[in-house]
Structure 1
């Protein structure tokens, strides 16, 4: 019963009753008011007479909004003899503002910004903690994608398709590549879901901070709209590479991220942060685009001289927020350059 009281269903089912204490977020958030009425963006997806592409676009735009988000992952099996299963489920949460950064016929950019208020042991609510979060770009019928090869290496790969494909390109908090996946939206039985292909990516922070026995997370994703939010489901494989580049799956993982739209939550600090830093992050996006246009292979490092890439950029974002465009572009290029090596 302890496992149920903790809200966990994905216990292993064998051995002692109960589940290990989850790892991940241990803080409590301020109370939120879940939305109960479908918003206009969700209703727009349900409209009659739309082309498949237009319905897809509206489904992507429906991912924007103000959300309470929960992140849950569990390692479901090990595939190597004598390798213990990581039996501590991962759980975390956030309140975030997701807005449409760019809306073009063949490209939609969505930017996530965290606005989190914490409750302490006395029940007091903190001032908001505000920070830029991840970004997702949706490309219609892309002509290329960047594939992760392990050890921080990315390779540009041509794409040829006419099957109504959308590429979801996901970027880390500092706008470095995180993964790019091809997939299709399906609108059936009143439900809209994007199904991805299988793709590889670097270890997310929840894993690379605690694991060093594998180097690639491979899997398939599904994104499903609900009347008051969306679900992001993952089925992943943890892969180890040997010296010859041979792949060995060592474990499987299931994940589910829930985005519940909320009402009456003050996201003003997130909007203010973006207003102040938007020119800086536009320069960061431009620099990454330049690198990816000029090279076929890139090696991207997390840290240089003990300083993480995202920490350096986050500090710079505040330092030069009011600088002129030329200065911002130069300082951004200087900041990113040590972390990226063209390998072609």
Structure 2
């Protein structure tokens, strides 16, 4: 079966070469959907901190099954929700993971500026012609990072690459507070086995006077190896059950973004971050007003 799935991936890569550029882009983005065995790998590479007591983060290696659900498929927007499957076979649990939206020729960005603050930025149209913006969201659908670039289809390769500031990843913000920005270079590339999320990151301390100090570099290399969709049935069933709730959450966040204003968020309320509140509300009686009230409570 694995050989057959590899064959299908190769057919997809070959078919991309015969399509128009826009069709190639859309097909490449949607090719990231499906069921995957995921391997997450992160390691600090170069230390730049002048402080001799600086301690590098430990290497991070983890894996699991992940279902990438196609949520929206429009001519100028493709949205995909990642769902991580954890636990033993008899007690599988679903973790709502990150979400990635792709917008064609998008002019509106929320650029991370440290300490849970995002600056609204409008780009000139002539700077985004032919480009796709990748908007990445937290597990509670709050903003994370965004960047715009062109998909590249050349010499049998299909990839998108961009550099943009982002908050600390979950594996870091719980163990260190000596930096407040991750400058991420993200490369999404299709392969014969699925796709790769290749990262070259800088850990940056942005001071109150605006100075940016690079403490260290980090390499991330996450592989998504395609497996049968049936292996991710638990995640598919979970999404069927909870998709209406999260559609309401996305709609409320969209109403916030449409204000086209910079935004700042609280870290927690009642000692709980937003994602804990949203996950609790998911399993209660909810409506659009409750969702709105919970999200707006975190906006400064």
Q: Determine helix, strand or coil for the equivalent of 2:58.
A: coil
Q: Deviations over 1:221-255 (max 9, x none)?
A: 11110122100011111111122111111111111
For the 8 Å contact 1:35–1:228, the answer to whether it is kept is no
Residues 1-344 of structure 1: matches in 2 within 5 Å? 34=2, 36-38=4-6, 43-47=11-15, 48-81=17-50, 82-86=52-56, 88-118=58-88, 125-160=89-124, 161-196=127-162, 198-263=163-228, 265-320=230-285, 328-341=287-300
Distance change in 2, residues 1:102/1:146 (3 Å): same
Q: Deviations over 1:22-64 (max 9, x none)?
A: xxxxxxxxxxx85653365763442243111110110001000
Structure 2: 5+ residue runs without aligned partners?
A: none
Aligned to 1:26: none
Structure 1: 5+ residue runs without aligned partners?
A: 1-32, 119-124, 321-326
The 1-side partners of 2:9 and 2:299 are apart by 38
The CA RMSD over aligned residues, in Å, is 1.8
Distance change in 2, residues 1:264/1:165 (3 Å): closer
TM-score (norm 1): 0.81
The 1-side partners of 2:253 and 2:10 are apart by 32
- The structure that is helix-richer by fraction is 2
Task: Please say which structure displays the higher CA radius of gyration.
Answer: 1
TM-score (norm 2): 0.93
Q: Which runs of 4+ in 1 moved over 6 A?
A: none
Q: Deviations over 1:201-239 (max 9, x none)?
A: 110110101111000000211111012210001111111
Q: Deviations over 1:121-172 (max 9, x none)?
A: xxxx441111322110001110111100111111110112244211100111
For the 8 Å contact 1:42–1:62, the answer to whether it is kept is no
Count of residues in Structure 1 that have an aligned counterpart in Structure 2: 296
The 1-side partners of 2:279 and 2:213 are apart by 36
